[in-house]
Amino acid sequence: MSKQPPQGLSRRTLLKASAATVAAGVAASAQAVTVNGVPHWLPFDHNGPLHYDAKGWQFFTAEEAREVEAIVERLIPADDLSVSGKEAGCAVFIDRQLTGHYGRYERLYQHGPFVPGVEPASDLVPADRYRVGLEQLGKHCQATFGKRFSELDDAQRDDVLKAMESGDIKFEGIESKIFFEQILQNAMEGFFADPIYGGNRDMVSWKMLGFPGARYDYRPYIDRHNEKLDLVPLSIIGSSSWNRKG
């Protein structure tokens, strides 16, 4: 079966696009001391990275999760550089993001005036884009192939994704191109973001790129030019050795 991503989605394209999407989040592992009986406080503990360790799907149903995993598996297929988007946990990353503020754009200003060509191409928030998009994708695949997207072979999946990317498939409630762009963007974010957010499992993409991760101090390496350091990547939560007592 084909291991090539859909046209326009080469590994090189994903790597270039990732530069604009990868951003370090807020570290949520350090607790403040208790003062005058005030309980311990964690930054963003109501919707922070720590809840991403929860087991099971938080937003997607089991059926939706299966389809999302099938999509990200083809958007970022396994090759000699890394595992697939599914194996890297991209679907988990998307699931956790949709559960939080991002899913409803709760922290994003949604009123005009908008700049032409810059405003959101859909009135739906991400959570609704996934609900509607996955439903419409399922209907299209059943009508065309008599199967779910996840039941198609790799070549058929790629053909469907290409048609979505070009907008040739007609969805109701959302343009197929909009849904494709949404899940592609989120898949790339999940592949390259800090593992604390559910994706980039085992820091696979950072190891592939040679990215050292969220290190707080590079002073020992400032004068070491043109040298391959092979630093072990670190997540926002740091190394387990940092938490040792004594």
Cα-only R_g, the chain: 20
In the prediction, which pLDDT does 32 show? 39
Output the pLDDT for position 71: 98
Residues 6+ apart with CB under 8 A from 206: 192, 200, 212, 213, 233
Q: Return per-residue pLDDT of the chain as tens, 246 residues.
A: 555 555 555 665 555 555 444 433 433 333 334 444 545 555 555 555 555 567 899 999 999 999 999 999 999 999 999 999 999 999 999 999 999 889 998 888 777 777 777 665 678 999 999 999 999 999 999 999 999 999 999 999 999 999 999 999 999 999 999 999 999 999 999 999 999 999 999 999 999 998 998 888 888 888 999 988 888 898 887 765 555 444
Query: Could you identify the residue written with the tokens 């439903």?
Result: 135
